[in-house]
């Protein structure tokens, strides 16, 4: 039931403590942009190490400075088809518009956490209300795989609510179907498991949840109240609220 894979490096912190590495100073703190946790040459070594061990590379990158450092390292190594490596940008709130073409070309997967949208006011103060961050729709429109994870208290239905409202920038909001796909099909792709799970398909693991309400039609603000009344994992019932007749 537990699988651990990949090599993960934490390159920066979060905007909450002004620890995300930005290319420009924080809007609410002059001359403060934060350096990376590692110098560029070490980031290059991390990327090379992932190639040497043929293991998926996961990089904690919240700020645009961290994202750019990874892209620079990847682009500096010739002869690699990065699209097959599925390098994962974990969080990626700072993967802003000018970095999107590079992300598409390098075939990265962005694993976002809609919970971060709960901090809309703080993030607007840190980045500036005129800076589009936590891009969702723009990534999908560019053909970049967008997966979702919890990153905190696990309530995917709350996160789906946030993704379809996107309080930081409503134009980046997803449809409910897109948000569910980010949690399921694309998350399986993000860990090279798309042949085993992620969709209800013949031959794949039977991972199914019967929910207390229809999350595609319920009022958005009621989504966090959703509960599973029957959960099947790999074809085995692991939770039964005994509410089905």
pLDDT at 41 over 80: yes
Domain containing 219 equals 206-245
Task: Assess whether 175 and 61 both reside in one domain.
Answer: yes
Q: Is 42's pLDDT higher than 80?
A: yes
Can you give the pLDDT at residue 4? 87
215 and 113 fall within a common domain: no
Same domain as 121, residue 241 = no
Contact present, 51 and 163 (Cβ < 8 Å)? no
CA torsion through residues 113, 117, 118, 120, sign: positive
Nearest-5° angle of CA 83, CA 88, CA 90?
155
Q: What is the pLDDT of residues 90-110, one digit of tens each?
A: 999 999 999 999 999 999 999
Q: Is residue 76 situated within a structural domain? A: yes
Mean of the per-residue pLDDT values for the chain?
95
Q: Do residues 29 and 88 share a domain? A: yes
Position 198 scores a pLDDT of 96
Do 242 and 139 share a domain, yes or no? no
Residues 6+ apart with CB under 8 A from 39: none
* CATH code of 84's domain: 3.20.20.140
At 90 the three-state DSSP class reads strand
Number of domains in the chain: 2
Tell whether pTM > 0.85.
yes
Which residue in the block uniquely carries the two structure tokens 């110098």? 39
Residue 134: inside a domain, yes or no? yes
d(CA 123, CA 133): 9
Residue pair 67/89 in contact (Cβ under 8 Å)? The answer is yes
When pLDDT is cut at 50, 70 and 90, the band that residue 152 belongs to is confident
Residue 1 maps to a domain = no
Same domain (yes/no): 71, 16 = yes
């Amino acid at each position: 039931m537990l699988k651990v894979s990949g090599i993960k490096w934490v390159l920066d912190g979060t905007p909450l403590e002004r620890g995300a590495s930005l290319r420009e100073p924080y809007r609410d703190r002059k001359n403060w942009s934060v350096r990376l946790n590692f110098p560029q040459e070490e980031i290059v070594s991390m990327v090379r190490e992932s190639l040497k061990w043929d293991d998926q590379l996961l990089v904690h990158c919240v700020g645009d400075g961290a994202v750019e450092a990874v892209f620079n390292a990847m682009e500096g190594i010739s002869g690699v088809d990065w699209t097959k490596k599925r390098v994962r940008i974990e969080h990626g709130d700072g993967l802003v518009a000018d970095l999107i073409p590079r992300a598409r070309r390098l075939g990265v997967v962005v694993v976002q956490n809609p919970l971060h949208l709960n901090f809309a006011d703080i993030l607007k103060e840190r980045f500036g209300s005129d800076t589009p961050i936590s891009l969702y729709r723009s990534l999908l429109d560019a053909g970049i795989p967008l997966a979702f994870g919890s990153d905190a208290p696990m309530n995917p239905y709350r996160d789906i609510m946030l993704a379809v409202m996107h309080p930081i920038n409503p134009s980046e909001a997803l449809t409910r179907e897109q948000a569910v796909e980010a949690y399921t099909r694309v998350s399986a792709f993000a860990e090279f498991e798309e042949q085993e799970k992620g969709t209800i398909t013949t031959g794949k693991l039977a991972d199914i949840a019967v929910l207390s309400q229809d999350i595609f039609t319920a009022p958005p603000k009621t989504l966090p109240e959703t509960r599973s009344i029957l959960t099947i994992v790999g074809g085995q019932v692991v939770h039964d609220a005994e509410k089905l007749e």
